[in-house]
A = this chain, B = another copy of it.
Amino acid sequence: MSSAAVKVGICGLGTVGSGTFNVLQRNADLIRARAQSAVDVVHVGARRDHPDCDLEGVQVSRDIFAVAQDPEIDVLVELIGGTTVARELVELALRNGKHVVTANKALIAEFGNELFALAEANQVVIRYEAAVAGGIPIIKALREGLSGNRIEWLAGIINGTGNFILSEMRDKGRDFADVLAEAQALGYAEADPTFDVEGIDAAHKLVILASLAFGMPLRFSSVYTEGITRLTPQDVEYAEELGYRIKHLGVAKCNGAGVELRVHPTLIPEQRLLANVNGVKNAVLVEGDAVGPTLYYGAGAGAEPTASAVVADIVDLAREISVGQACRVPALGVASACLAEVPIVPMADVVTPWYLRMVAEDKPGVLSQIASIFSEQGISIEALIQKAPAEGETRVPLIVLTNSAAQGRMEKAVSAIESLESISSEIARIRVEVLDG
Protein backbone atom coordinates (compact mmCIF):
# COMPACT_ATOMS: atom_id res chain seq x y z
CA MET A 1 0.00 0.00 0.00
CA SER A 2 2.93 2.37 0.47
CA SER A 3 4.02 4.65 -2.27
CA ALA A 4 6.44 7.44 -3.05
CA ALA A 5 6.63 10.36 -0.64
CA VAL A 6 4.14 13.17 -1.03
CA LYS A 7 6.09 16.41 -1.41
CA VAL A 8 4.85 19.50 0.34
CA GLY A 9 5.75 23.17 0.01
CA ILE A 10 4.79 25.55 2.81
CA CYS A 11 4.33 29.26 2.09
CA GLY A 12 4.37 31.46 5.17
CA LEU A 13 6.34 30.64 8.29
CA GLY A 14 4.49 32.65 10.92
CA THR A 15 2.49 31.19 13.80
CA VAL A 16 0.54 28.60 11.83
CA GLY A 17 3.30 27.97 9.29
CA SER A 18 5.89 27.16 11.94
CA GLY A 19 3.33 25.07 13.85
CA THR A 20 2.55 23.08 10.71
CA PHE A 21 6.22 22.57 9.90
CA ASN A 22 6.91 21.37 13.44
CA VAL A 23 3.92 19.01 13.72
CA LEU A 24 4.88 17.43 10.38
CA GLN A 25 8.45 16.94 11.66
CA ARG A 26 7.61 15.77 15.17
CA ASN A 27 4.93 13.27 14.14
CA ALA A 28 6.54 12.25 10.84
CA ASP A 29 6.61 8.50 11.65
CA LEU A 30 3.00 8.46 12.76
CA ILE A 31 1.92 10.50 9.74
CA ARG A 32 3.74 8.15 7.41
CA ALA A 33 1.97 5.14 8.97
CA ARG A 34 -1.39 6.88 8.69
CA ALA A 35 -0.94 8.34 5.21
CA GLN A 36 0.63 5.13 3.92
CA SER A 37 3.29 7.29 2.35
CA ALA A 38 5.88 9.72 3.68
CA VAL A 39 4.91 13.38 3.79
CA ASP A 40 8.04 15.45 3.17
CA VAL A 41 8.28 19.20 3.40
CA VAL A 42 10.76 19.92 0.65
CA HIS A 43 10.33 23.65 0.08
CA VAL A 44 9.47 26.56 2.34
CA GLY A 45 8.64 30.03 1.06
CA ALA A 46 8.98 32.75 3.70
CA ARG A 47 10.33 36.24 3.99
CA ARG A 48 12.42 35.09 6.95
CA ASP A 49 13.27 31.89 8.84
CA HIS A 50 11.44 31.06 12.07
CA PRO A 51 13.48 30.58 15.25
CA ASP A 52 11.46 27.45 16.20
CA CYS A 53 11.92 25.66 12.86
CA ASP A 54 14.94 23.61 11.90
CA LEU A 55 14.99 24.11 8.13
CA GLU A 56 18.10 22.02 7.47
CA GLY A 57 17.72 20.01 4.30
CA VAL A 58 14.70 22.01 3.19
CA GLN A 59 14.87 24.37 0.24
CA VAL A 60 14.00 27.88 1.40
CA SER A 61 12.85 30.64 -0.96
CA ARG A 62 12.29 34.25 -0.04
CA ASP A 63 9.99 34.47 -3.07
CA ILE A 64 6.92 32.39 -2.19
CA PHE A 65 5.95 32.14 -5.85
CA ALA A 66 9.03 29.99 -6.36
CA VAL A 67 7.27 27.30 -4.28
CA ALA A 68 4.22 27.32 -6.55
CA GLN A 69 6.54 26.85 -9.49
CA ASP A 70 8.64 24.08 -7.96
CA PRO A 71 7.99 21.05 -10.21
CA GLU A 72 8.73 18.70 -7.31
CA ILE A 73 5.82 19.87 -5.12
CA ASP A 74 2.53 17.92 -4.97
CA VAL A 75 0.82 20.07 -2.34
CA LEU A 76 1.22 23.79 -1.68
CA VAL A 77 0.26 24.94 1.81
CA GLU A 78 -0.78 28.60 1.84
CA LEU A 79 -0.33 30.15 5.28
CA ILE A 80 0.48 33.75 4.46
CA GLY A 81 -3.07 35.07 4.97
CA GLY A 82 -4.84 37.97 3.31
CA THR A 83 -6.60 37.96 -0.02
CA THR A 84 -4.17 39.63 -2.41
CA VAL A 85 -0.81 37.86 -2.59
CA ALA A 86 -2.35 34.70 -1.14
CA ARG A 87 -4.92 34.64 -3.92
CA GLU A 88 -2.29 35.06 -6.62
CA LEU A 89 -0.19 32.35 -5.01
CA VAL A 90 -3.05 29.87 -4.81
CA GLU A 91 -4.11 30.57 -8.39
CA LEU A 92 -0.58 30.01 -9.63
CA ALA A 93 -0.28 26.77 -7.66
CA LEU A 94 -3.59 25.47 -9.03
CA ARG A 95 -2.62 26.38 -12.59
CA ASN A 96 0.63 24.50 -12.06
CA GLY A 97 -1.32 21.39 -11.02
CA LYS A 98 -0.60 21.56 -7.30
CA HIS A 99 -3.19 20.67 -4.68
CA VAL A 100 -3.61 23.50 -2.20
CA VAL A 101 -4.15 23.40 1.57
CA THR A 102 -5.01 26.69 3.24
CA ALA A 103 -6.06 28.08 6.61
CA ASN A 104 -7.24 31.30 4.97
CA LYS A 105 -10.91 31.90 5.83
CA ALA A 106 -11.10 35.29 4.10
CA LEU A 107 -9.68 33.86 0.88
CA ILE A 108 -12.15 30.96 0.84
CA ALA A 109 -15.17 32.99 1.97
CA GLU A 110 -14.57 35.79 -0.54
CA PHE A 111 -12.93 34.03 -3.49
CA GLY A 112 -13.67 30.35 -2.90
CA ASN A 113 -16.22 30.01 -5.71
CA GLU A 114 -13.68 31.11 -8.33
CA LEU A 115 -10.81 29.19 -6.74
CA PHE A 116 -12.76 25.93 -6.52
CA ALA A 117 -13.71 26.24 -10.20
CA LEU A 118 -10.09 26.87 -11.09
CA ALA A 119 -9.02 23.84 -9.06
CA GLU A 120 -11.58 21.63 -10.76
CA ALA A 121 -10.49 22.84 -14.17
CA ASN A 122 -6.94 21.85 -13.28
CA GLN A 123 -8.00 18.51 -11.72
CA VAL A 124 -6.60 19.40 -8.34
CA VAL A 125 -8.29 20.28 -5.05
CA ILE A 126 -8.23 22.96 -2.37
CA ARG A 127 -8.58 21.81 1.24
CA TYR A 128 -9.39 24.31 3.97
CA GLU A 129 -10.22 22.50 7.22
CA ALA A 130 -8.12 25.01 9.15
CA ALA A 131 -10.15 27.96 7.85
CA VAL A 132 -13.00 27.34 10.30
CA ALA A 133 -12.76 26.65 14.03
CA GLY A 134 -9.03 25.88 14.07
CA GLY A 135 -8.31 22.29 15.01
CA ILE A 136 -11.94 21.12 15.16
CA PRO A 137 -12.59 18.84 12.17
CA ILE A 138 -15.89 20.56 11.41
CA ILE A 139 -15.45 20.84 7.63
CA LYS A 140 -14.89 17.08 7.48
CA ALA A 141 -17.87 16.46 9.74
CA LEU A 142 -20.18 18.50 7.49
CA ARG A 143 -18.78 17.32 4.20
CA GLU A 144 -18.29 13.65 5.05
CA GLY A 145 -19.42 12.65 8.53
CA LEU A 146 -22.96 13.99 8.13
CA SER A 147 -23.26 13.40 4.38
CA GLY A 148 -26.47 11.40 4.80
CA ASN A 149 -28.30 14.31 6.44
CA ARG A 150 -30.29 17.23 5.22
CA ILE A 151 -28.75 19.88 7.47
CA GLU A 152 -31.46 22.01 9.06
CA TRP A 153 -29.39 24.56 10.92
CA LEU A 154 -26.06 25.18 12.56
CA ALA A 155 -24.92 27.63 15.19
CA GLY A 156 -21.37 28.18 16.28
CA ILE A 157 -19.03 30.03 18.55
CA ILE A 158 -16.46 30.53 15.82
CA ASN A 159 -14.41 33.46 17.02
CA GLY A 160 -12.24 32.72 20.04
CA THR A 161 -11.36 36.35 20.75
CA GLY A 162 -15.00 37.33 21.00
CA ASN A 163 -15.78 34.35 23.20
CA PHE A 164 -12.86 35.16 25.49
CA ILE A 165 -14.18 38.71 25.89
CA LEU A 166 -17.74 37.54 26.61
CA SER A 167 -16.51 34.88 29.07
CA GLU A 168 -14.49 37.47 30.97
CA MET A 169 -17.35 39.98 30.97
CA ARG A 170 -19.58 37.32 32.51
CA ASP A 171 -17.11 35.82 34.98
CA LYS A 172 -15.83 39.12 36.28
CA GLY A 173 -18.58 41.62 35.51
CA ARG A 174 -16.11 43.63 33.46
CA ASP A 175 -16.64 46.13 30.66
CA PHE A 176 -16.19 45.25 27.02
CA ALA A 177 -13.45 47.84 26.45
CA ASP A 178 -11.56 46.78 29.55
CA VAL A 179 -11.50 43.08 28.57
CA LEU A 180 -10.63 43.91 24.98
CA ALA A 181 -7.56 45.78 26.16
CA GLU A 182 -6.50 42.74 28.20
CA ALA A 183 -7.13 40.40 25.28
CA GLN A 184 -4.89 42.59 23.14
CA ALA A 185 -2.18 42.49 25.82
CA LEU A 186 -2.45 38.66 26.00
CA GLY A 187 -2.19 38.37 22.22
CA TYR A 188 -5.73 36.96 21.85
CA ALA A 189 -6.87 40.05 20.01
CA GLU A 190 -5.21 41.94 17.19
CA ALA A 191 -4.12 45.56 17.52
CA ASP A 192 -7.02 46.29 15.16
CA PRO A 193 -9.72 44.10 16.70
CA THR A 194 -12.42 44.99 14.17
CA PHE A 195 -12.38 41.64 12.38
CA ASP A 196 -12.98 39.79 15.63
CA VAL A 197 -15.30 42.03 17.63
CA GLU A 198 -17.42 43.26 14.72
CA GLY A 199 -18.03 39.69 13.58
CA ILE A 200 -16.30 39.82 10.19
CA ASP A 201 -14.04 36.90 11.04
CA ALA A 202 -17.07 34.91 12.23
CA ALA A 203 -18.96 35.88 9.05
CA HIS A 204 -16.10 34.50 6.93
CA LYS A 205 -16.35 31.20 8.78
CA LEU A 206 -20.13 31.10 8.84
CA VAL A 207 -20.45 31.50 5.10
CA ILE A 208 -18.11 28.54 4.60
CA LEU A 209 -20.08 26.36 7.04
CA ALA A 210 -23.39 27.38 5.46
CA SER A 211 -22.25 26.56 1.94
CA LEU A 212 -21.12 23.12 3.09
CA ALA A 213 -24.32 22.54 5.04
CA PHE A 214 -26.75 23.63 2.35
CA GLY A 215 -24.84 22.90 -0.84
CA MET A 216 -24.79 26.48 -2.08
CA PRO A 217 -22.09 28.79 -3.47
CA LEU A 218 -20.23 30.99 -0.95
CA ARG A 219 -22.23 34.16 -0.32
CA PHE A 220 -20.04 36.26 1.96
CA SER A 221 -21.69 39.56 1.05
CA SER A 222 -25.07 38.18 2.19
CA VAL A 223 -24.16 37.58 5.82
CA TYR A 224 -25.80 39.88 8.36
CA THR A 225 -23.10 40.87 10.84
CA GLU A 226 -23.51 42.47 14.23
CA GLY A 227 -20.60 42.77 16.65
CA ILE A 228 -20.30 42.55 20.42
CA THR A 229 -19.02 46.06 21.01
CA ARG A 230 -22.31 47.41 22.34
CA LEU A 231 -22.92 44.69 24.94
CA THR A 232 -22.91 45.97 28.50
CA PRO A 233 -22.14 44.16 31.76
CA GLN A 234 -25.80 44.82 32.64
CA ASP A 235 -27.02 42.79 29.67
CA VAL A 236 -24.69 39.96 30.63
CA GLU A 237 -25.98 40.05 34.20
CA TYR A 238 -29.68 40.33 33.34
CA ALA A 239 -29.34 37.47 30.84
CA GLU A 240 -27.82 35.40 33.63
CA GLU A 241 -30.71 36.21 35.95
CA LEU A 242 -33.12 34.99 33.28
CA GLY A 243 -31.21 31.71 32.90
CA TYR A 244 -29.24 32.62 29.76
CA ARG A 245 -25.67 33.29 28.66
CA ILE A 246 -24.75 35.74 25.92
CA LYS A 247 -22.60 34.28 23.15
CA HIS A 248 -21.51 35.70 19.81
CA LEU A 249 -22.98 33.15 17.42
CA GLY A 250 -22.83 32.50 13.74
CA VAL A 251 -26.20 31.03 12.76
CA ALA A 252 -27.22 29.46 9.47
CA LYS A 253 -30.74 28.09 9.12
CA CYS A 254 -32.57 26.60 6.19
CA ASN A 255 -36.32 26.96 6.02
CA GLY A 256 -38.96 27.05 3.33
CA ALA A 257 -38.12 30.65 2.40
CA GLY A 258 -34.37 30.18 2.01
CA VAL A 259 -31.29 30.40 4.19
CA GLU A 260 -30.67 32.71 7.14
CA LEU A 261 -27.03 33.81 7.44
CA ARG A 262 -26.32 35.87 10.52
CA VAL A 263 -23.66 36.69 13.10
CA HIS A 264 -24.82 38.45 16.24
CA PRO A 265 -24.80 38.37 20.05
CA THR A 266 -27.33 35.79 21.23
CA LEU A 267 -28.92 34.71 24.49
CA ILE A 268 -28.68 30.91 24.91
CA PRO A 269 -30.31 28.90 27.72
CA GLU A 270 -27.56 28.31 30.30
CA GLN A 271 -27.87 24.51 30.31
CA ARG A 272 -26.96 24.18 26.61
CA LEU A 273 -23.45 22.90 25.93
CA LEU A 274 -22.80 25.92 23.68
CA ALA A 275 -23.57 28.22 26.61
CA ASN A 276 -20.80 26.48 28.54
CA VAL A 277 -18.07 26.90 25.92
CA ASN A 278 -15.77 29.45 27.49
CA GLY A 279 -12.58 31.37 26.85
CA VAL A 280 -10.92 31.15 23.45
CA LYS A 281 -12.53 27.79 22.65
CA ASN A 282 -14.82 27.28 19.65
CA ALA A 283 -17.80 24.97 19.19
CA VAL A 284 -20.29 24.32 16.42
CA LEU A 285 -23.73 22.77 16.86
CA VAL A 286 -25.14 21.12 13.75
CA GLU A 287 -28.68 19.78 13.40
CA GLY A 288 -29.23 17.13 10.76
CA ASP A 289 -32.57 15.57 9.84
CA ALA A 290 -31.35 12.04 10.61
CA VAL A 291 -28.71 12.53 13.29
CA GLY A 292 -30.41 15.31 15.28
CA PRO A 293 -28.13 17.73 17.11
CA THR A 294 -24.37 17.14 17.12
CA LEU A 295 -21.65 19.35 18.58
CA TYR A 296 -17.97 19.78 17.82
CA TYR A 297 -15.70 21.55 20.31
CA GLY A 298 -12.04 22.49 20.55
CA ALA A 299 -9.37 25.13 20.10
CA GLY A 300 -10.40 27.61 17.42
CA ALA A 301 -6.98 29.18 16.94
CA GLY A 302 -3.32 28.92 17.90
CA ALA A 303 -0.24 27.55 16.17
CA GLU A 304 -0.59 23.82 16.76
CA PRO A 305 -4.39 23.48 16.88
CA THR A 306 -4.57 25.19 13.49
CA ALA A 307 -1.62 23.10 12.31
CA SER A 308 -3.58 20.00 13.35
CA ALA A 309 -6.23 20.86 10.77
CA VAL A 310 -3.68 21.78 8.10
CA VAL A 311 -1.84 18.48 8.62
CA ALA A 312 -5.11 16.51 8.53
CA ASP A 313 -5.79 18.02 5.11
CA ILE A 314 -2.27 17.12 3.97
CA VAL A 315 -2.67 13.52 5.24
CA ASP A 316 -6.05 13.31 3.49
CA LEU A 317 -4.44 14.42 0.26
CA ALA A 318 -1.51 12.07 0.73
CA ARG A 319 -3.91 9.15 1.26
CA GLU A 320 -5.74 10.11 -1.91
CA ILE A 321 -2.66 10.83 -3.99
CA SER A 322 -1.21 7.47 -2.97
CA VAL A 323 -4.25 5.73 -4.46
CA GLY A 324 -4.21 7.94 -7.52
CA GLN A 325 -7.17 10.25 -7.06
CA ALA A 326 -7.68 13.35 -4.97
CA CYS A 327 -11.03 14.56 -6.31
CA ARG A 328 -13.04 12.18 -4.14
CA VAL A 329 -14.95 14.89 -2.21
CA PRO A 330 -16.24 18.01 -3.94
CA ALA A 331 -15.00 21.33 -2.52
CA LEU A 332 -18.34 22.35 -1.02
CA GLY A 333 -19.61 18.83 -0.36
CA VAL A 334 -21.82 18.50 -3.44
CA ALA A 335 -20.79 18.18 -7.06
CA SER A 336 -20.20 21.69 -8.42
CA ALA A 337 -22.97 21.20 -11.00
CA CYS A 338 -25.39 20.58 -8.10
CA LEU A 339 -24.60 23.75 -6.14
CA ALA A 340 -27.88 25.63 -5.82
CA GLU A 341 -28.46 29.36 -5.53
CA VAL A 342 -30.67 29.46 -2.46
CA PRO A 343 -32.41 32.73 -1.55
CA ILE A 344 -31.11 34.49 1.55
CA VAL A 345 -33.88 35.33 4.01
CA PRO A 346 -34.04 39.12 4.59
CA MET A 347 -33.32 40.00 8.22
CA ALA A 348 -36.74 41.65 8.58
CA ASP A 349 -38.24 38.17 8.15
CA VAL A 350 -35.91 36.36 10.56
CA VAL A 351 -37.93 35.10 13.51
CA THR A 352 -36.39 34.64 16.97
CA PRO A 353 -37.35 35.41 20.54
CA TRP A 354 -35.86 38.71 21.77
CA TYR A 355 -34.30 40.18 24.87
CA LEU A 356 -34.88 43.94 25.22
CA ARG A 357 -33.48 46.34 27.77
CA MET A 358 -34.81 49.86 28.19
CA VAL A 359 -34.90 52.58 30.83
CA ALA A 360 -38.38 53.72 31.87
CA GLU A 361 -39.95 56.21 34.23
CA ASP A 362 -41.04 54.32 37.33
CA LYS A 363 -44.70 55.36 37.26
CA PRO A 364 -48.10 53.73 36.74
CA GLY A 365 -49.23 52.93 33.20
CA VAL A 366 -45.82 52.54 31.59
CA LEU A 367 -45.88 48.77 31.57
CA SER A 368 -49.36 48.64 30.15
CA GLN A 369 -48.38 51.05 27.35
CA ILE A 370 -45.45 48.85 26.47
CA ALA A 371 -47.49 45.67 26.66
CA SER A 372 -50.12 47.07 24.34
CA ILE A 373 -47.53 48.08 21.73
CA PHE A 374 -46.20 44.51 21.69
CA SER A 375 -49.72 43.21 21.46
CA GLU A 376 -50.43 45.46 18.44
CA GLN A 377 -47.46 43.90 16.66
CA GLY A 378 -48.63 40.39 17.55
CA ILE A 379 -45.62 39.85 19.79
CA SER A 380 -46.26 37.96 23.01
CA ILE A 381 -44.23 38.64 26.12
CA GLU A 382 -42.48 35.76 27.89
CA ALA A 383 -41.17 37.80 30.82
CA LEU A 384 -41.19 41.46 31.81
CA ILE A 385 -38.94 42.42 34.68
CA GLN A 386 -38.72 45.84 36.26
CA LYS A 387 -35.52 46.25 38.26
CA ALA A 388 -35.39 48.32 41.43
CA PRO A 389 -34.43 51.96 40.82
CA ALA A 390 -30.97 53.09 41.92
CA GLU A 391 -31.02 55.40 44.96
CA GLY A 392 -32.32 58.88 44.12
CA GLU A 393 -33.24 57.67 40.64
CA THR A 394 -36.81 57.75 39.32
CA ARG A 395 -36.01 55.74 36.23
CA VAL A 396 -35.70 51.95 36.26
CA PRO A 397 -34.22 49.34 33.95
CA LEU A 398 -36.91 47.27 32.31
CA ILE A 399 -36.13 43.88 30.79
CA VAL A 400 -38.46 42.18 28.32
CA LEU A 401 -38.16 38.66 26.98
CA THR A 402 -40.49 38.02 24.06
CA ASN A 403 -41.63 34.94 22.25
CA SER A 404 -40.61 34.46 18.62
CA ALA A 405 -41.12 37.54 16.47
CA ALA A 406 -39.85 38.63 13.08
CA GLN A 407 -37.26 41.39 13.21
CA GLY A 408 -39.51 43.62 11.13
CA ARG A 409 -42.31 43.51 13.67
CA MET A 410 -39.88 43.88 16.52
CA GLU A 411 -38.43 47.01 14.94
CA LYS A 412 -41.88 48.56 14.68
CA ALA A 413 -42.60 47.75 18.31
CA VAL A 414 -39.23 49.10 19.43
CA SER A 415 -39.60 52.36 17.58
CA ALA A 416 -43.12 52.84 18.98
CA ILE A 417 -41.83 52.17 22.51
CA GLU A 418 -38.83 54.46 22.03
CA SER A 419 -41.22 57.26 21.13
CA LEU A 420 -43.05 56.96 24.46
CA GLU A 421 -42.34 59.90 26.77
CA SER A 422 -41.68 57.59 29.67
CA ILE A 423 -38.87 55.75 27.85
CA SER A 424 -35.65 57.66 28.16
CA SER A 425 -33.05 55.73 26.20
CA GLU A 426 -32.43 53.69 23.11
CA ILE A 427 -33.64 50.13 23.59
CA ALA A 428 -30.95 47.45 23.62
CA ARG A 429 -32.01 44.40 21.60
CA ILE A 430 -30.42 40.95 21.59
CA ARG A 431 -31.75 37.88 19.82
CA VAL A 432 -32.45 34.66 21.71
CA GLU A 433 -31.78 31.19 20.29
CA VAL A 434 -33.25 28.25 22.15
CA LEU A 435 -31.12 25.72 20.22
CA ASP A 436 -33.32 22.83 21.12
CA GLY A 437 -33.59 19.62 19.19
Residues of A within 8 A of B (CB): 1-2, 19, 23-24, 26-27, 30-31, 33-36, 129, 134-137, 140-141, 144-150, 215, 271, 273, 276-277, 283, 288-299, 302, 304-305, 307-312, 314-316, 319-320, 323-325, 327-330, 333-335, 338
Interchain CB contact under 8 A, B33 and A334: yes
Known: A27-B150, A137-B146; 8 extra A-B contacts, CB below 8 A, are A1-B327, A30-B215, A30-B334, A146-B312, A147-B311, A290-B308, A292-B305, A294-B298
Q: From the candidates B148, B283, B302, B312, name the one contacting A23 in the complex (CB within 8 A).
A: B148
Interchain CB contact under 8 A, A328 and B319: yes
Interchain CB contact under 8 A, B338 and A33: yes
6 interchain pairs (CB within 8 A)?
Answer: A33-B335, A141-B145, A146-B312, A288-B308, A290-B308, A294-B299
Interchain CB contact under 8 A, A27 and B328: no
Assuming the contacts A30-B215, A297-B297, asked whether A291 and B271 have C-beta atoms less than 8 A apart, the reply is no
Interchain CB contact under 8 A, A2 and B135: no
Listed residue (A1, A129, A294, A335) with the most chain B CB atoms within 10 angstroms of its CB: A294
Interchain CB contact under 8 A, A137 and B141: yes
Assuming the contacts A324-B324, A327-B323, A334-B33, asked whether A295 and B294 have C-beta atoms less than 8 A apart, the reply is no
Assuming the contacts A23-B148, A141-B145, asked whether A292 and B299 have C-beta atoms less than 8 A apart, the reply is yes
Interchain CB contact under 8 A, A311 and B297: no
Assuming the contacts A30-B150, A33-B334, A140-B145, asked whether A297 and B273 have C-beta atoms less than 8 A apart, the reply is yes
Tell me which residues across on chain B come within 8 A of A2, comparing CB atoms. Answer: 335
Tell me which residues across on chain B come within 8 A of A311, comparing CB atoms. Answer: 147-148, 290
Q: From the candidates B276, B290, B338, name the one contacting A276 in the complex (CB within 8 A).
A: B276
Tell me which residues across on chain B come within 8 A of A315, comparing CB atoms. Answer: 144, 147-148
Residue in B closest to A129 when the chains form the complex, CB atoms:
B145
CB distance from A301 to the nearest CB of B (A): 11
Interchain CB contact under 8 A, B144 and A312: yes
Q: From the candidates B215, B314, B335, name the one contacting A36 in the complex (CB within 8 A).
A: B335
Tell me which residues across on chain B come within 8 A of A289, comparing CB atoms. Answer: 26-27, 304
- Distance between Cα atoms of A324 and B324 in the complex (Å): 9
Interchain CB contact under 8 A, B308 and A148: yes
Q: From the candidates B271, B288, B290, B334, name the one contacting A19 in the complex (CB within 8 A).
A: B290
Interchain CB contact under 8 A, A144 and B316: yes
Tell me which residues across on chain B come within 8 A of A19, comparing CB atoms. Answer: 290
Tell me which residues across on chain B come within 8 A of A314, comparing CB atoms. Answer: 148
Residue in B closest to A323 when the chains form the complex, CB atoms:
B325
User: What 6 A-B pairs are tightest by C-beta distance, nearest first?
Assistant: A137-B145, A148-B311, A294-B298, A135-B291, A33-B338, A291-B308
Q: From the candidates B141, B273, B291, name the one contacting A273 in the complex (CB within 8 A).
A: B273
Residue in B closest to A298 when the chains form the complex, CB atoms:
B294
Tell me which residues across on chain B come within 8 A of A24, comparing CB atoms. Answer: 148
Interchain CB contact under 8 A, A33 and B276: no
CB distance from A293 to the nearest CB of B (A): 7
Q: From the candidates B146, B215, B316, B323, name the one contacting A147 in the complex (CB within 8 A).
A: B316
Listed residue (A293, A305, A328) with the most chain B CB atoms within 10 angstroms of its CB: A328
Interchain CB contact under 8 A, B324 and A325: yes
Tell me which residues across on chain B come within 8 A of A320, comparing CB atoms. Answer: 328
- Distance between Cα atoms of A345 and B298 in the complex (Å): 28
Residue in B closest to A30 when the chains form the complex, CB atoms:
B150
Residue in B closest to A299 when the chains form the complex, CB atoms:
B292
